[in-house]
Every structure is written in C-alpha cells, then in structure tokens.
C-alpha cells in the first residue's frame, strides 16, 4: 500500500543519511527485528544528525498508525 511504501521510504532515507549504517544489529535474526518494529522500535538517529525537521518527518513516516503517516502526492 501507499502507507507501507511511506514507511519503507523512511528507512531508505535514514540509511542514506547515516552513510550506510544498519538500522538494527546484524546479530539479530530477522524475526527479532520484525518483532521489535511491530512493538514500535525504530532506528535511532545519530547525535549529530543535521536536520531536526527532516528527522521529525522521517519519524512521522514511521508512525505505527498508517493513517498518521504523511502522503507524498
């Protein structure tokens, strides 16, 4: 759906701005990562992340409730 695409785009943006860092530990099995995401855990931002507006926008794109995610039309 469009709302799941928004969530995925936020992950791509996070990945791009964190210069290829992994959003979750590579030591975790995929099932654990999915469980954490379903419980509301999201990747953290680097302390020196340069743009708080962009950071807030990405966080909104990760909203647990898909209806709270922005539209990109």
Structure confidence by residue, pLDDT tens digits, 41-64? 999 888 887 788 999 999 999 999
pLDDT of amino acid 58: 93
**pLDDT for res 70:** 93
Per-residue CA distances from 56 to 1, 29, 30, 35, 49 (Å): 22, 28, 26, 23, 11
- Whether 36 shows a pLDDT value over 80: the answer reads yes
Which of 2-6, 8-12, 20-24, 39-43 has the weakest average pLDDT?
Answer: 20-24
Give the predicted TM-score (pTM) of the model.
0.80
The least confident of 14-23, 30-39, 63-72 is 14-23
């Amino acid at each position: 759906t469009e709302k799941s695409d928004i969530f995925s785009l936020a992950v791509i943006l996070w990945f791009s701005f964190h210069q290829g860092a992994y959003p979750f530990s590579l030591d975790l099995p995929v099932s654990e990562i999915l469980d954490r995401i379903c419980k509301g855990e999201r990747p953290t931002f680097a302390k020196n992340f340069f743009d708080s507006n962009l950071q807030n926008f990405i966080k909104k794109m990760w909203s647990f409730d898909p209806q709270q995610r922005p539209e990109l039309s």
